[in-house]
């Protein structure tokens, strides 16, 4: 991707923020895929396994941090993480490092089953794409 280009790589999978108050299709905490996106108006259409589609803003969608950031979190918090959380984060990072889409989905399902891992493994799509910075600079 060209540094000066406006192109953005959208994630293949994401999770609807589990604490989203006004979810248009009541899919909090569910895994979906982006079916269409309009970045300049912050509109992301997300499709789900039941074929339902919802319209969300980037701050309502969660995507994976890169595996390096997850490993860094594990090292920084090694003494305070439970054995289960440490193991789950390691598995998530490995699945992301070597995974195909089904393996990435498995990693997302690990987070889905354990919301305590969200801060360690996920980030908002807004932050991932750098949209929060673009909004702040333009206003």
Summarize pLDDT for 76-101 with one digit per residue, the tens: 999 999 999 999 999 999 999 987 88
DSSP assignment letter at 45: E
Residue 10 banded pLDDT, cuts 50, 70, 90: confident
Q: Kindly state the average pLDDT of the residues 99-116.
A: 93
* Sequence-distant contacts of 129-137: CB under 8 A, at least 24 apart: 129/8, 129/10, 129/39, 129/58, 131/39, 131/42, 131/58, 132/59
Nearest CA to 17 out of 63, 52, 53 is that of: 63
According to the model, what pLDDT value does residue 139 have? 39
| Residue 135 reports pLDDT greater than 70 | no
Ranking 2-11, 20-29, 34-43, 78-87 by mean pLDDT, the lowest is 2-11
Q: Kindly state the average pLDDT of the residues 6-35.
A: 90
| Residue 110 reports pLDDT greater than 90 | yes
Q: What is the pTM of this model?
A: 0.86
- How many percent of the chain have pLDDT more than 70? 88
């Amino acid at each position: 991707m060209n540094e000066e280009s406006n192109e953005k790589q959208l994630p293949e999978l994401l999770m609807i923020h589990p604490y989203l108050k006004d979810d248009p299709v009541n899919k909090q905490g569910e895994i979906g895929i982006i079916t269409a996106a309009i970045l300049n108006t912050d509109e992301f259409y997300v499709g789900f396994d039941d074929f339902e589609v919802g319209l969300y803003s980037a701050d309502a969608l969660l995507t994976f941090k890169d595996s390096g950031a997850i490993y860094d979190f594990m090292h920084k918090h090694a003494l305070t993480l439970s054995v289960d959380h440490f193991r789950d984060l390691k598995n998530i990072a490995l699945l992301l490092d070597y995974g195909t889409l089904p393996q990435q989905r498995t990693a997302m399902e690990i987070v889905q089953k354990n919301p305590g891992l969200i801060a360690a493994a996920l980030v908002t799509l807004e932050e991932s794409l750098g949209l929060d910075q673009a909004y702040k600079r333009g206003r």
